[in-house]
Amino acid sequence: MNEVVLRAQNVTKRYGGTQALKGVDFEVLKGRVTSLFGENGAGKSTLMKILSGIEQPTSGSLELRGEPVEFADTVEARDRGISIIHQELSLSPNLSVRDNIFMGREITGKAGMVDYAAERRIAKELMERLEEPIDPDTKVSDLRLGQQQIVEIARALSVDARILIMDEPTSALSASEVEVLFKVIRDLTAAGVSIVYISHHLEEAIEISDHAVVLRDGLIVAQAEIADVDLDWIVGNMVGRGFDLGSPPSPEHFGEVALRIDQAMVADPANPERLSVNGVSIDVRAGEVVCIYGLMGAGRTELLEALAGRVPLVGGSFTVLGQDISGLNISERIALGLGLVPEDRQRDGLVQTMSVGRNLSLASLGTFLKGLVLSRQEEKDLIQKMIKDVRVKTAGPNAAIGSLSGGNQQKVVIGKMLATNPKVILLDEPSRGIDIGAKSEVFGLLSELAEQGLAVLYSTSEVGECLSIANRVIVLSKGRISAEFDAATTTKEQIMAASGESAVAA
Amino acid sequence: MSQTTSADAPARTRRPSGGLDIPKLLLEGRAFIALIVIIVIFSFLSPNYFTVNNLLTMSAHVAVYAILAIGMLLVILNGGIDLSVGSTVGLSGVIAGFLMQGVKLPGMEVTLYPAVWVCAVCALAVGAFVGWVNGMLVAKAGVAPFVATLGTLYVVRGAALLITGGLTYPNLRGDPALGNTGFDLLGFNRILGIPTGVMVMIVIALLGSFLLNRTAFGRWLYASGGNQRAAELSGIPVKKVQIRIYVASGTCAAIAGVIIASELTSANPTAGNSFELTAIAAVVIGGAALSGGRGNIRGTLLGAFVIGFLSDGLVIIGVSEYWQMVFKGAVIVIAVMLNRIEVRSKRIKNAGAPSAPPPGQAGAGPGSSGTPPAVNTAKP
Ligand SMILES: Nc1ncnc2c1ncn2[C@@H]1O[C@H](COP(=O)(O)OP(=O)(O)OP(=O)(O)O)[C@@H](O)[C@H]1O
Ligand SMILES: [Mg+2]
């Protein structure tokens, strides 16, 4: 049963001064799902990149079905039956879904011409298998983040790999979509495909895995059959301590209404005829934490982007601290104390050509401007403070942003907005890709800041995150509010039912 | 916290300043090495090359390229390109020349001879205006920079030719009787033995360094060139930034145009032909990325010196004009290749490096992370 198909032996990986892997022995078992757990920056993605040929190990060796192998690149690994779903999406936004799925492996017919019909048919089948009705001819840039992730999954599936590596495949998916993916995974393993699965949604990972491996600081610290482990075991091994998502701020300290959303209407960017937010009204008071729960396409991102000033309102109004903000641009809204932590950190959050420090200070340059000149000392102090406050794991403020693990990049985006000293903070899926420790730190931080009078409005597609630090949960469905709950008295099942999905995925 | 290395530190831990530091230049500035190689080779080939006088003359030529290239750098940092600068050189010279010749007021028998500074300021204003048009086309009308500035390249050159009727305004020395002497001071003359153009170049380079390294605007520029969407969501007025850099580029081109007209004490409507390409070459030799977000003034200056010293050297040793073109082209490609090798080896050693080069340091690769490019990171 436990036949090893791919084995990494004593693999190490150095990135300059960072030892990402310090001698790892890792086995992929035939027809089984091996879950890799670990904090942000533990080295999970690095190990997966080595297994799939994206990176070469500094030392150590790989063995595929007993034979030593070396992969010069992903193409070689793919030819040997190894396929990967990247943590950071790697699609070409300017191409269609079909072209992305077959990129580099176009189906060619007579005279070397691409057989688009065949490609489209297969793409369509894949989409049906993933139960996501996306037309293969849609341009990827027109898709929502979650849909893009599904395309990424479809591409990996289309390879017919024997070993499929999934590095956080579900970070932008809703519970029901995760269920579909799990069904697909079970079919694959039944057919003998081996899966490596990485997710910071621990319950979800436990549900699908057969075998758990925990990585900490580049070393494997524990592994066990899934039957023998529980959440505490994983978390204990991952971070060496317990965790807690924090508790909601107490209503005694609530102040005035800081943010008022009144009958907001936002057009669907893909189809301006349609409204993706249709008459939503929410009040958030100073010191209050409100969670918006909804499935993909419920209108959460559109609502938050309209609040931030990126897309216009077609009806209704926004009021922040008593001031109507409809006439203000993004920077004026930030100056007023309204900041958005966007959902897609690569596209909207980070400047890849800038260092960690400069990304952190980017939205608050005005606060350390002395006349014309940016004060270096004040900037440095601010950056140091933010690195500490949001606990970014980095070699230093001058490190390139791309050298950070995914979760730490996310913390930089959050830190950037917190550095502006907001009165109202909007967070679109703030926990996307961050580990349980970081999650509890981020939510803990938010609830702490709320105690000091910050109004917090965040969206999530993980029910557990609604109930931890929120005072109120608002369920959005098809652009409208379908229910509102007091977080203290409601249950996961109620919330999911209101959002229009079945409670199986809980 | 992971620890930093000491091995990488000397090359990388550096403050993002424009200051000179010879070891750092040697370590990172491949353009600098190219420059030294050029100077050494030509010094061997011709005894006249490495003389104070020749170096000053060459520097005066370099100054024009460098001033254009600094403007171009701003645009390229934003991920744009400005093809119209060569034409703007011609037009601004012509405007200055036109005014120096005297303006006949319609319906009156008087001819006005504006003071030299008025002529110069008008020429710069025209350059700034051309830049503003470029900026509006790119930022407001959403025309791709390449296309917008290609259009202005033609329009502006045409305008210059129309104004002079295709002729050259000769002898712009002015006349003491008319009180408009001194135009030659702007480029033809030397102050304390140093060509005026070189002085202007130094001033512009210092201003540019200050702008890029110390002001909020500089940071806005790097950020919006690196990722426009993220910059916008961080409250950066990306459109305003875009318009201003094209204005700056147009103004730099006009300054170069006035300097050239002064050097020659005549204004030729075809002056500056194809200078935009020289400016772009200087910027890329200096390590900037055409995709935006990376590059600095120091590198660009070096790039301008490489090109200027090479062209003049080839002339001095008497290489035929055709071979000059071949050599120039080859040096551009080789210099940029050297930069690429550097970036690649950095990436292999460490795709991010503890304390990796801050933006604006040499390094031309788009996205220095080892991960595949994420979806939609490109600017729209
Ligand atoms: N290209 C790179 N250059 C420099 N350092 C890197 C690079 N890629 C990863 N690292 C470093 O290696 C370590 C491991 O990173 P990795 O991406 O494997 O973490 P991870 O376990 O996948 O984390 P996450 O859960 O946040 O995705 C981190 O300290 C990270 O900063
Ligand atoms: Mg990862």
For A403, which of B227, B351, B374 is closest by C-beta distance?
A: B351
CA dihedral B361, B366, B370, B371 (to 10 degrees): 140
Which tokens in the block code for residue A106? 């176009």
- DSSP, residue by residue, A178-204: HHHHHHHHHHHHHTT-EEEEE-S-HHH
How many whole angstroms separate alpha carbon B244 and alpha carbon B227? 18
Section A160-168 average pLDDT: 92
Residue B257 resides in a domain: yes
Which residues of chain A does CATH 3.40.50.300 include?
4-239, 243-337+422-506
Nearest residue to B260 via CA among B342, B160, B133: B160
Cα–Cα distance measured from residue B286 to residue B35, given in angstroms and rounded to the nearest whole number: 11
Q: How far apart are CA B138 and CA B242, in angstroms?
A: 8
Give the three-class secondary structure for A457. Answer: strand
* All residues with CB under 5 Å from ion ligand 2: A 45, 87, 406
Instruction: State the DSSP string of A156-176.
Output: HHHTT-SEEEEESTTTT--HH
Task: Tell me how many domains chain B contains.
Answer: 1
What residue of B is the nearest CA neighbor of A58? B349
Question: How far away, in angstroms, is A11 Cα from ligand 2 center?
Answer: 17
Give the pLDDT confidence of A401-456 residue by residue, as tens digits: 998 988 889 889 999 999 999 999 999 988 877 788 778 878 888 888 898 899 99
Alpha-carbon span A243 to A229, nearest angstrom: 17
Tell me whether residue B25 is in a domain: no
What pLDDT is recorded for position A240?
A: 66
> Which of the two residues, A415 and B2, has the higher pLDDT score?
A415
d(CA B356, CA A307): 35
Looking at A390-399, B55-64, B269-278, B339-348, which range is the least confident one?
B339-348
CATH of the domain at B312: 1.10.3470
Does the pLDDT of residue A186 top 90, yes or no? yes
B78-92, B104-118, B271-285: least confident range: B104-118
Q: A100 in contact with B at a CB cutoff of 8 Å?
A: no
Q: Whose CA is nearest to atom 22 of ligand 1?
A: A45
Pick from A105-109, A143-147, A151-155, B279-283 the range whose average pLDDT is largest: B279-283
Asked if the Cβ–Cβ distance from A90 to B375 is below 8 Å, we say yes
Of the pLDDT bands very low, low, confident and very high (cuts 50, 70, 90), residue B367 is: very low
Helix (H, G, I), strand (E, B) or coil at B226: helix
**CB-CB under 8 Å, A353 with B222:** yes
Q: What is the pLDDT of residue A297?
A: 75
Distance A53 CA to ligand 2 centre (A): 16
Cβ(A308)–Cβ(A330) under 8 Å?
yes
Whether B374 maps to a domain, the answer reads no
From the candidates B14, B222, B375, which should be mutated to test the interface with A, based on the most A CB atoms within 10 A?
Answer: B375
Q: Which of A268-272, A417-421, B44-48, B61-65 has the lowest mean pLDDT?
A: A268-272
From chain B, pick out residues whose CB is under 8 angstroms from the CB of A140.
375
For chain A, report the end-to-end CA distance as a whole number of angstroms: 30
Q: What is the ipTM of this complex?
A: 0.79
Three-state DSSP at A5 gives strand
Spatial separation of the C-alpha atoms in residues A357 and A362, rounded to whole Å? 9
The verdict on the CB of residue A403 being under 6 Å from ligand 1 is yes
CB A246 within 8 A of CB A444: yes
Q: What is the DSSP letter of A86?
A: -
Q: Is the CB of B352 under 6 A from ligand 1?
A: yes
Q: What's the rounded mean pLDDT across residues B267-280?
A: 94
Give the pLDDT band of residue B375 (cuts 50, 70, 90).
Answer: very low
Residue-range definition of the domain harbouring residue B297: 30-345
- For domain A243-337+422-506, say whether CATH 3.40.50.300 is its number: yes
Strand-pair category, A455-460 with A424-428: parallel
Residue type, A8: A
The domain made up of A4-239 has a fold known as Rossmann fold (3.40.50)
Angle at the Cα of B105 (from B104 to B109), degrees rounded to 5? 80
As a whole number of angstroms, the distance between CA A489 and CA A472 comes to 10
DSSP label of B369 = S
Interface contact B214-A400, CB threshold 8 A = no
CA dist list (Å): A282 to A61, A340, A457? 56, 16, 10
- Between the CA of A45 and the centroid of ligand 2 the distance, in Å, is 4
Q: What is the reported pLDDT for B251?
A: 98
Record: contact B226-A93, CB cut-off 8 A: no
Task: Name which of B91, B118, B90, B88 is nearest B102 in CA terms.
Answer: B118
Q: Which residues pair with B191 in a beta bridge?
A: B194
Nearest CB neighbour to B233, from listed A86, A330, A358: A330
Tell me the HSE value of B311 on the side-chain side, using a 13 A CA sphere.
Answer: 18
**Ligand 1 binding pocket mutation candidate from B347, B368, B369 (most atoms within 8 A of CB):** B369
CA of A345 to the centre of ligand 2 (A): 14
Q: In B, which residues are within 8 Å of A19 by CB distance?
A: 2
| Distance in Å, CA A152 to ligand 2 centroid | 16
Residue contact B369–A402, C-beta within 8 A? yes
CB A238 within 8 A of CB A301: no
Rounded CA gap, A421 and A424, in Å?
A: 9
* Residues B352, A403: C-beta atoms closer than 8 Å: yes
**A53 at B interface, C-beta within 8 A:** no
- Write the residue with the smallest CA distance to atom 6 of ligand 1: A403
**Cα separation, B288 vs A103, whole angstroms:** 30
* Greatest CA separation for chain A: 74
SS (H, E, C) A324-360: ECCCCCHHHHHHHCEEEECCCHHHHHCCCCCEHHHHH
Give the closest residue (by CA) to ligand 1 atom 27: A406
Residue B238 located in a structural domain: yes
How far is it, in rounded angstroms, from Cα A460 to Cα B100? 68
* Nearby residues of A157 by Cβ (< 8 Å), 6 or more positions away: A126, A129, A130, A164, A184
Nearest partner of B190 among B315, B47, B59, B51, judged by Cα: B59
Q: What is the mean pLDDT of residues B104-111?
A: 77
Other CB atoms closer than 10 Å to residue B142's CB: what's the count? Answer: 9
| Ligand 1 atom 17, closest CA | A405
Residue A56 contacts B, CB cutoff 8 Å: no
Contacting A residues, span 209-268, partner chain B, CB-CB under 8 Å: none
Nearest by CB: B376 against A141, A340, A353: A141
Joined together, the tokens standing for residue B218 give 């500089």
Rounded CA-CA distance B290/B281 in Å is 11
Which residue, chain included where needed, has tokens 């393993």? Answer: A189
Ligand 1 centre and the CA of A15: distance in Å? 9
Of A168, A226, A206, A201, the C-alpha closest to A44 is A168
d(CA A440, CA A66): 42
Tell me the HSE value of A361 on the side-chain side, using a 13 A CA sphere. 27
B373, B367 contact by CB (below 8 A): yes
pLDDT in tens, A204-245: 899 999 999 999 889 999 999 999 998 888 888 887 665 666
CA distance B237 to B224: 9
Q: How far does the centroid of ligand 2 lie from the alpha carbon of residue A105, in Å? A: 26
Give just the sign of the alpha carbon dihedral B275, B277, B282, B283.
Answer: positive
Task: Please check whether residue B155 lies inside any domain of the structure.
Answer: yes
Q: How confident is the model at residue B232 (pLDDT cuts 50, 70, 90)?
A: very high
Cβ atoms < 10 Å from Cβ of A111: 5
Asked whether the predicted pLDDT for residue B133 surpasses 80, the reply is: yes
What's the pLDDT score for residue A111? 81
For all residues of chain B together, what is the average pLDDT? Answer: 82
Is the minimum CB–CB distance between A18 and chain B shorter than 8 Å? yes
In chain A, which residue's Cα lies nearest the Cα of B295? A353
The dihedrals phi and psi of A66, each to the nearest 5 degrees, come to 85, -15
Q: Which of B223, B235, B352 sits opposite A400 (nearest CB)?
A: B352
Q: Do B356 and A400 touch (CB under 8 A)?
A: yes
Q: Rounded to an integer, what distance in angstroms lies between the CA atom of residue B290 and that of residue A162?
A: 41
CA A275 to chain CA mean position, Å: 26
